[in-house]
Amino acid sequence: MILAFEFNYISQNALLENILESTCKDFGISYKIGKINNIVNLYVEGDEDSLRNFSDFIGKRLPLSIFFKSTAVNVIEDMKNDLSKINECTLCLPFTPKTLFTCKDESSTFFLNPLINNEVGVSTFDAKGVLLKQDGNIIVNADETESFKTLYNEIAKIIKSDKEVFINSSSGSYLIGKIDLLKEKDFIVIPTDLSVVEKMVVIKENEIKALASLEKPIIRLRVNTLYSSKNILPTQRVKLKLADELLLLNICGKLNEEGIDFIYKTDIKSSTCKYEVQIDGSFKRLAQIEVCVLENGEILIVNGDGYSSSMLKENLKKFDTASHAQFSSILQEHNLFDESVSCFYLSCTHDDRLMYVSEKTGMLDLVKFPIIRNIEKIFESIESCNIGGKLLKNYKEKFPEIYENALSCKISDATPNSIYSIWGIAAVILGISDNIANGSIKIIENAEDFGGKKGPRVDYLLVDKESIKSDFDMIRLIRSAMSFKLAGTDDITLSFGMMEALAYFLSDTTDSCNENLSSEKTLLCGSMFGIRRFAEIACKNITASSHICLNRELPIDN
């Protein structure tokens, strides 16, 4: 009897194939493995009982993965013989289900050992133990089960007594401490167990699954009302992830037993920290990634290319312009070089572009987003038309302090030509923020907090309204937003209107590309699409008229 498994795995990093092979070898079953495009095929042969037992075994050994989309299994007559050879997995990985089981197995000689190497990928550790030091002096030298117990107990005592511990291991060099003692603004929250996550943040089921995946990604989440009322955190949004190495996982387990739900992790070592954990030997660093999980289950890598195939990463280096590189990366990941497609690249760090490519035209830049780098000139441009002159006069009279503060703000020459930059400038002019640097973030957070259904339809127009190839009209956007402000629209509603109207602009432009350029698909990339609410609105509107493609294993920006 032969079972044929099909796994939809959208990365070329060879992780799944190697885990499947290791699983088959450990179980001792006849097998064949191969991959065609995104489908990994596994064929196993045996009697009915052994195949049933294997199905149970593989269910325990396969990790969740942000790249693992679906599976199917069928009974077939014969194994295929034309399967390609699987590639070697060269990743340095967080713990796999097998590694975790070994560490938690009380009958194992590796019980509580955080230095176990995974069955796939490169070895993380070449070490004999873990050292806990106080003021440079070793107070625990852990190299077997009992001393590892002592190690975790001592670290938990230190943390519980309101002190910090600096750790240098495969997850990086970082400081940990109780969340209510947090002093830094740049930090990551580490829940001591998956079950406590909802005590702090608003999170959906597909985000919980992503947190628990093998890759242990960072996810940006909104703090819930109950936890926010405790006034523990300096922000209303946090970056959160689970422990990605056994050392930190075992520390978290002990802290959870002691009633501590959350700790912080920061790269900054405080001068008052007396305790340090060191690996007694050498180790490799784990890849760190941040993701955004959309409502439809789509997972976008916002930062970090540690799980991307080297071939795709090399392709990005061929382009000097970030937008062109990212456009090309999606073409390659989806094999779209022979199709006519449009691409929206919206970034928080680079110049925005709307682009198009076909076999006939090659790559074309359709829309750019030049900004005016002087707020006084922005006001002059608004004033230059009849409607704008009256608008600006009324605006100055009603909001004199906002107007004067805006005039005092300087726009750096290094500011990217992008919607993100325009939002920052608009935020100052609208009084949503008193500075440009935080203005874009404030508009995004306001829009995320908006609880209504519709925002005001802020103008997103091209300078040449009759052409699909034109510069974006920054003045019209700011002018229309000012008119809504004058009409009494509150900041949260206005911020959402700016976000929602951008999504409609992308949808309208998609329709235009479909009609005038016979565009077959729409590609979305750039870090603006890492903003979950914006990405969901944009995808919902565009999907009505076009098939959307996003990066699969590369980050959405570079």
Residue 220 burial by Cβ neighbours in a 10 Å radius (0-12, 13-18, 19+) = middle
DSSP 47-81: -HHHHHHHHHHHHHHPPP-TTEEEEEEEEESS--S
- pLDDT at residue 430 in the model: 98
What are the tens digits of pLDDT across the range 252-291?
A: 999 999 999 999 999 988 888 999 999 999 999 999 999 9
3-state SS of 392-416 is HHHHHHHCHHHHHHHHHCCCCCCCC
Do 514 and 399 sit in the same domain of this protein?
yes
Decide if 535 is inside a domain: no
Decide if 42 is inside a domain: yes
Do 102 and 232 sit in the same domain of this protein?
yes
- Domain with residue 183: its CATH number is 3.90.870
- Domain with residue 396: its CATH number is 3.30.420.40
Best CA proximity match to 152, nearest among 39, 54, 250: 250
DSSP 318: T
Do 180 and 252 sit in the same domain of this protein?
yes
- Domain with residue 17: its CATH number is 3.30.70.600
Do 253 and 131 sit in the same domain of this protein?
yes
Contact predicate 293/206, CB 8 Å: yes
Decide if 167 is inside a domain: yes
Chosen domain end from 222, 250, 283: 283
Q: Tell me the C-alpha distance between 476 and 28, whole Å.
A: 68
Chosen domain end from 17, 47, 76: 76
- pLDDT at residue 538 in the model: 96
- pLDDT at residue 389 in the model: 93
- Residue matched to tokens 């109950």: 226
Q: Tell me the C-alpha distance between 92 and 125, whole Å.
A: 10
Do 68 and 111 sit in the same domain of this protein?
no
Do 123 and 270 sit in the same domain of this protein?
yes
Cβ partners under 8 Å of residue 116, min gap 6 = 95, 99, 102, 103, 110, 125, 246
Cβ partners under 8 Å of residue 517, min gap 6 = 340, 342, 356, 358, 468
Helix axes 400-408, 375-383, angle to 10 degrees: 130
- pLDDT at residue 468 in the model: 85
Decide if 186 is inside a domain: yes
pLDDT of the chain, 558 residues: tens digit per residue: 999 999 999 999 999 999 999 999 999 999 999 998 899 999 999 999 999 999 999 999 999 999 999 999 999 888 877 777 889 999 999 999 999 999 999 999 999 999 999 999 999 999 999 999 999 999 999 999 999 999 999 999 999 999 999 999 999 999 999 999 998 889 999 999 999 999 999 999 999 999 999 999 999 999 999 999 999 999 999 999 999 999 999 999 999 999 999 999 999 888 889 999 999 999 999 999 999 999 988 999 999 999 998 888 888 888 989 999 999 999 999 999 999 999 999 999 999 999 999 999 999 999 999 999 999 999 999 999 888 999 999 999 999 999 999 999 999 999 999 999 999 999 999 999 999 999 999 999 999 999 998 999 999 999 998 888 999 999 999 999 999 999 999 999 999 999 999 999 999 999 999 999 999 999 999 999 999 999 999 999 999 889 999 999 999 998
259, two tokens? 């009633």
Cα dihedral value 275, 278, 280, 284, nearest 10:
180
Best CA proximity match to 218, nearest among 246, 190, 181: 190
Best CA proximity match to 176, nearest among 288, 290, 270, 285: 270
Residue 33, SS3? strand
- Residue matched to tokens 């089981």: 101
209, two tokens? 């699954």
Q: Tell me the C-alpha distance between 179 and 199, whole Å.
A: 13
Contacts 24+ apart (CB under 8 A), 545-549: 545/507, 545/510, 545/511, 545/514, 546/510, 546/514, 546/519, 546/521, 546/522, 547/520, 547/521, 547/522, 548/521, 548/522, 548/523, 548/524, 549/330, 549/334, 549/336, 549/341, 549/521, 549/522, 549/523, 549/524
- R_g (Cα) of the chain, nearest Å: 27
Do 484 and 388 sit in the same domain of this protein?
yes
Contact predicate 201/237, CB 8 Å: no
Do 267 and 195 sit in the same domain of this protein?
yes
Q: Tell me the C-alpha distance between 25 and 5, whole Å.
A: 16
Chosen domain end from 283, 318, 346: 283
Domain total in the chain: 3
* Segments forming the whole domain that contains residue 208: 97-283
One-letter amino acid identity for 443?
I
Decide if 321 is inside a domain: no
Do 44 and 111 sit in the same domain of this protein?
no
Contact predicate 197/276, CB 8 Å: no
Helices and strands in the chain, H and E counts: 17, 22
Do 53 and 133 sit in the same domain of this protein?
no
Do 255 and 383 sit in the same domain of this protein?
no
Q: Tell me the C-alpha distance between 454 and 501, whole Å.
A: 10
**How do strand 172-178 and strand 262-266 relate by DSSP bridges?**
antiparallel
- With pLDDT > 90 as the criterion, what percentage of the chain qualifies? 91
Decide if 204 is inside a domain: yes
Decide if 318 is inside a domain: no
DSSP 208-262: HHHHTSTT--EEEEEEPHHHHTTT-SSSSEEEE----SHHHHHHHHHHHHTT--E
Decide if 555 is inside a domain: no
Do 6 and 153 sit in the same domain of this protein?
no
